[in-house]
Amino acid sequence: MADKEASILEKLGVSVGYKTTHSKTITEADIVLFAGVSGDFNPVHVNEEYAKKTFFGGRIAHGALSQALLSAAMAKLPGLVIFLSQTLKFLKPVRIGDTITAVAEVTETRPDKGIVTLKNACFNQKGETVVEGEAMCRLYPPPA
């Protein structure tokens, strides 16, 4: 009797508990460039005088910038990684000078489809959770 062929997740060595990370210190340039690329010029991100008058007390990074760091962490999964979905809660502001570590950890797998569900979180340099959520990715063999 022939052995059952290994799933793509088995071939790539991905199972529950597999974890990837990506870290970055947020700079003024990151916020300006992100505003330019996204078209999001909300003054809480780009105008210090305006942002000082808000309950944040100063400029904050775009929430989608933290999401992009999570995307970078998930892109470090092995194989060809295709992003399927994500839900997020933004818990604390991210500011210029904060070092954000994005963590993606596999919590569920669908070996027949190569789909993984991941717990997502971003932490600042103080260890505080600034973003949390869940994502799904599909993994394929890398191109030959």
What pLDDT shows up at residue 4? 72
| Residue 113 belongs to a domain | yes
| Residue 35 belongs to a domain | no
Query: Which has the closest alpha carbon to 87: 67, 61, 115?
Result: 67
- The DSSP string of 50-98 is HHHTSTT-S----HHHHHHHHHHHHTTSSSEEEEEEEEEEE-S---TT-
Number of separate domains in the chain? 1
| Residue 88 belongs to a domain | yes
The pTM score is: 0.93
Residues 32-61 have a mean pLDDT of: 98
Domain that holds residue 131: 8-26+61-140
Contact between residue 83 and residue 116 where contact means Cβ atoms under 8 Å apart: no
Amino acid of residue 66: S
Residue range 6-46, pLDDT digits in tens: 999 999 999 999 999 999 999 999 999 999 999 999 999 99
Cα–Cα distance, 5 to 10 (Å, whole number):
10
Residue range 99-119, pLDDT digits in tens: 999 999 999 999 999 999 999
Q: Higher model confidence: residue 3 or residue 68?
A: 68
Q: Supply φ then ψ for residue 137, to 5 degrees.
A: -135, 155
Q: The domain spanning residue 107 has which CATH number?
A: 3.10.129.10
